[in-house]
Amino acid sequence: MTQNTCTIITRIKPENLDPLEALLASIGSDPGAEQYLRLRDIASLHMAGIAVAARDSRFPPILIFESNFDGPADDYFRELVAHARAGLDAIYSKCEGYPSGASRTDAAIIAYLKAHNAPAAAVFVGLPGQTVGSVKNAIAVRKEINRFLDAELAAGATRKMSARQIRDRIMQHLQGASPISPEIPPVTFSAFRWVALRNTIVIALIGIVLLPVLLPMVLIWLLMVRYREIREENASAKPDPPTDERTYAVEDRSVQFHLATIGVIKENPVRRYTIRAVLALVGVMWRHILVRGGFGGIYTLHFAHAVIIDEGRRILLLTCYDGSALEYLGNFTDIAGAYINAAYGSVEHYPACKWLLAGGASGLQGFMGWSRQHLQYTPVFYSAYPGETMLNLMKDLELRDHLYSARSESEAERLLQLL
Amino acid sequence: MRTALDFHDIQGLVLNGYRHLNHARFVLLQIADADATKRWLAHVANHIGSARRRRGEEELPGSQINLALTLSGLSKLGLPQETLEAFPREFQMGMDAPERSRRLGDVGECAPERWQFGAPTTPRIDLLLMLYARDAATLDQSTHQALSTAPSSNGVEEVFRQHSVRHDDKEPFGFRDGISQPAIEGSGQRPPGQAILKAGEFILGHVDEYGDLVSVPSVPRKLDPAGVLTPDLSHPTHSSFGRNGSYLVLRKLEQDVAGFQNFVARASRNADGSDNPERARLIAAKMVGRWPSGAPLTLAPEKDDPELGSNKHRNNNFGFAVTDRDGFACPIGSHIRRANPRDALVFPKSPARALNLSNRHRIIRRGRPYRDNAEQGILFIALNASIARQFEFIQQSWLNNPKFNGLYDEIDPLSSASTGNGMMTIQAKPLREHLPGLPRFVTMRGGAYFFMPSIRAIKFLAQLRQTPRLNQISRVIIDQG
């Protein structure tokens, strides 16, 4: 099943900003268990985050509610309203345009949410095709195997066993006394290796066919971008608001978290068209090539998507990641700066880029400072599997999905090394 | 760009662990009278050990003094607000701030409320005096000279004192310590098999491993009429206060030696309940990543190799990626592999890129063992140019991270503040082994973040005329000496 994303962006009534932030902070203390949103009851929801962007006086205060879920958006909206109606009422009654009185029906609320759902310009899914149920099953299978093997080891039952014999013991257990059974999906995560290869070849072939037409255009475009980069080196844009200290307080509290970053797009046609073109290209890459868990070599990103907001004046990047915020942001400098430069090189105050991809995030101090300053306060983050990293999940899926096929000694050895 | 280091301006501890000076005393001071403290600093500055290139340990003096200050100390000595605000956020907050505690894992038994010094409830620390000497008599003499018989006449009052005597190279758990140290470009150090790191990783005002010349705190030139400081090239109206300084992390870590020995004895017992000392040694080594001699498991996976352990050309000349990527010799979650993963990270997969990333999170360690009656442990000291990116990153993302390098739910078996039910995976073929029930072996007893200024900067502080009014604060003097 395909994962989808939605980003509901609504204007906050200015007089309700403080009460709304207080309400969100309360929900954020345990978004799964609290009685407002009851996100844990939505079986298709992987991760969700609610951020407030209200510190830039050039723009009205907005509420950003991001969700990553299985299946069509219409189904998710119905589930959301069915389970989270009390929370939606409490939150969105503090925003503009939310239905009130007798007109506040489930259908009207769904219509409101859909009307404010901003389309994503690019979407990255770390584990494509894996439903919440599939992910949770893989986690449970791994835990059960570990529990079983620890007991076997303590009893000396696996002593002098080969890898294949141990694997056979595991299979016997899973097919017998185990309370958990592997539920292998029709399309496994491993199968996306071939999807990525196929898509890469197809896209490369299309690129080769179009090269004679595209190459001159791309070169001219790059020269125009470089010209802007040089011109803008000493340009002074209006300063962005200072770092929101609350962003430090909410991060690094659990294995996973959510970042919402907003940048103001430079007021120049070259920049405006560049960012849209880049996001279109990036969108193709994220959706069709980066389908093996890695994001440009970074394996901590579960979901990401970029949205152009405010009539094209700002870009919003939403990411669900694992690890510390410092490590996560640092990874872009250390490993995948070009990916982030392509999107943010056309944004005000971003560290200077060269030829769009170089520079920028490659300098830690400048990139970290810019990122920090542009992070939005995210009081609510929910995950259906909050204690797991992307690397954990990739191993869990590989373990579960190869239990049946790992029949040789070397295959069984590789399987056991995942534990 | 190659770094030229001003050895006369850099405090000696940055480039020299004073391993020939086995006696040390660490005195935490509070400034009561800033003017008197400045007069004292002017005197002490002439005795601060610099990092002059050593030509053999026998030529080094029999004692050394180094000095560092907290933000509070810098403020009391009159450093202007704009300069104080230019210091990094983590240094300004201090180690005992809740946000730092969360990142460092200083919670529960290790929480600041339980510290002997450096906590919000203990007297504020302004200054750290580090004294090193060949013998106890020289150390006493050096301490006396530095502080005089009446500390209050120097404008400082003693908050805490820690004495240290090092009998050998081993830390209290019994393992050779301090083997792996980064080498600094321009220092003349050439450790076998180790990358030489940019000076900016440890000394402010120099290019770092990112190729950045990170800006350092500076002061308006008018505050430095005598031109003690060097000009700040990025601010023509300012002089560089931070250049050639370093950030110093101090943590008093109590080690439960009996608890460690009992745990490995229990975990290594044979099926019939009898002791298995050989396996106990192996389990302890697996937790550390080295044998007691210092021999790394990656090079000596089966048994200790004292010759290897003491051979400085070999005992740190290894990586994990080529010979031990899966951790069958040195477990992925072992202490030394977490503290410095070298060339073996799950990502980036390339050993060269992984090593490059690891090298952006190194610290210089200058810890010393201590023993206070029944309590023993290490006075951990780290030097780096960015506390957040180096020391705190190692602590948070590597040592305390239950998900380090693809692992699941385990933290550093040796140094992390386990809640008493920790676990460690020992990778093996065909099946890994789990070490369950890991208790906490190390407890945080106190600490603080300091700035270790250059010798020029100390002289500048000593002559700084602008002095804020000090509040009269009653203090408790705790002498642990």
For residue A160, give the chain B residue with the closest CA: B430
Cβ atoms within 10 A of the Cβ of B167, count?
Answer: 7
Considering only CB atoms, B326 lies closest to which of A249, A391, A417, namely A417
Q: What percent of chain B has pLDDT over 70?
A: 93
Contact B433/A at CB under 8 A: yes
Contact A290/B at CB under 8 A: no
The answer to whether the beta carbons of residues A380 and A50 sit under 8 Å apart is yes
Q: How far apart are CA A237 and CA A218, in angstroms?
A: 27
Instruction: Spell out which residues of chain A touch residue B406, defining contact as CB-CB under 8 Å.
Output: 389, 391-392, 395
**Residue A329: which of A285, A278, A358, A365 has the closest Cα?**
A365
> For B135-159, how does the pLDDT look when each residue is reduced to its tens digit (9 = 90+)?
999 999 988 888 875 566 788 999 9
The mean per-residue pLDDT over the stretch A333-356 comes to 89
Contact A335 B102 (CB under 8 A): no
Q: What is the pLDDT of residue B472?
A: 34
Considering only CB atoms, A299 lies closest to which of B103, B347, B434, namely B347
Contact A150 B434 (CB under 8 A): yes
> For A149-200, how does the pLDDT look when each residue is reduced to its tens digit (9 = 90+)?
999 998 888 888 999 999 999 999 999 999 999 999 988 998 888 899 999 9
pLDDT at A257 over 90: yes
pLDDT at B1 over 70: no
The whole-angstrom distance between A388's CA and the closest CA on chain B is: 8
pLDDT at A259 over 70: yes
Considering only CB atoms, B432 lies closest to which of A161, A392, A419, namely A419
pLDDT at B55 over 80: no
For residue B288 the two structure tokens come to 């550390």
Contact B430 A252 (CB under 8 A): no
pLDDT at A124 over 90: yes
Q: What is the pLDDT of residue A402?
A: 93
Q: What is the DSSP string of B20-63?
A: T--EEEEEEEEES-HHHHHHHHHHHHTTB-B-PPPS-GGGS-SE
| Per-residue pLDDT band at B165 (split at 50, 70, 90) | very high
Contact B99 A413 (CB under 8 A): no
Considering only CB atoms, B210 lies closest to which of A161, A248, A333, namely A333
What is chain A's length? 419
Contact A363 B429 (CB under 8 A): no
Contact A161/B at CB under 8 A: yes
Q: Which amino acid is at B290?
A: R
| Per-residue pLDDT band at B473 (split at 50, 70, 90) | very low
Domain boundary assignment for chain A: 3-120, 132-184+396-416, 192-383
| Per-residue pLDDT band at A37 (split at 50, 70, 90) | confident
For residue A250 the two structure tokens come to 């909410």
Contact A327/B at CB under 8 A: yes
pLDDT at B212 over 90: no
Q: Which residues contact A372 (CB under 8 A, 6 or more apart)?
A: A243, A247
Instruction: Spell out which residues of chain B touch residue A146, defining contact as CB-CB under 8 Å.
Output: 434
> For A268-299, how does the pLDDT look when each residue is reduced to its tens digit (9 = 90+)?
999 999 999 999 998 999 889 998 889 888 99
pLDDT at B466 over 80: no
For residue A151, give the chain B residue with the closest CA: B434
Question: Across all residues in chain B, what is the average pLDDT?
Answer: 90
pLDDT at B471 over 60: no
For residue B327, give the chain A residue with the closest CA: A417
Q: Is B420 helix (H, G, I), strand (E, B) or coil?
A: coil
Interface of B with A in 367-386 (CB under 8 A): none
The whole-angstrom distance between A413's CA and the closest CA on chain B is: 6
> For B241-252, how does the pLDDT look when each residue is reduced to its tens digit (9 = 90+)?
999 999 999 999
Mutate one of A165, A302, A324 to test the B interface: name it (highest B CB count within 10 A).
Answer: A324
Start-end of H helices in B112-200: 136-147
- Which position has the token pair 């009390």? A86
**Residue B126: which of B241, B42, B31, B247 has the closest Cα?**
B31
User: Is the C-alpha dihedral spanning B196, B201, B204, B207 positive or negative?
Assistant: positive
Cβ atoms within 10 A of the Cβ of A228, count?
Answer: 20
Q: What is the pLDDT of residue A106?
A: 95
Phi, psi of B218 (to 5 degrees): -130, 165
| Per-residue pLDDT band at B59 (split at 50, 70, 90) | low
Question: What's the number of CA atoms in the CB half-sphere (13 Å) around residue B409?
Answer: 16
**Residue B42: which of B53, B34, B51 has the closest Cα?**
B34
> For B315-373, how does the pLDDT look when each residue is reduced to its tens digit (9 = 90+)?
999 999 999 999 999 999 999 999 999 999 999 999 999 999 999 999 999 999 999 88
CATH architecture of A3-120: 2-Layer Sandwich (3.30)
> For B391-444, how does the pLDDT look when each residue is reduced to its tens digit (9 = 90+)?
999 999 999 999 999 999 999 999 876 667 789 999 999 999 999 999 999 999
The whole-angstrom distance between B210's CA and the closest CA on chain A is: 6
Considering only CB atoms, A335 lies closest to which of B348, B401, B431, namely B348
Chains A, B: CB pairs < 8 Å: 93
Q: What is the pLDDT of residue B293?
A: 96
Q: What is the pLDDT of residue B475?
A: 33
Contact B273/A at CB under 8 A: no
Considering only CB atoms, A363 lies closest to which of B102, B210, B389, namely B210
> For A352-404, how does the pLDDT look when each residue is reduced to its tens digit (9 = 90+)?
999 989 999 988 888 999 999 999 999 999 999 999 999 999 999 999 999 99
The whole-angstrom distance between A151's CA and the closest CA on chain B is: 11
Instruction: Spell out which residues of chain B touch residue A297, defining contact as CB-CB under 8 Å.
Output: 347-348
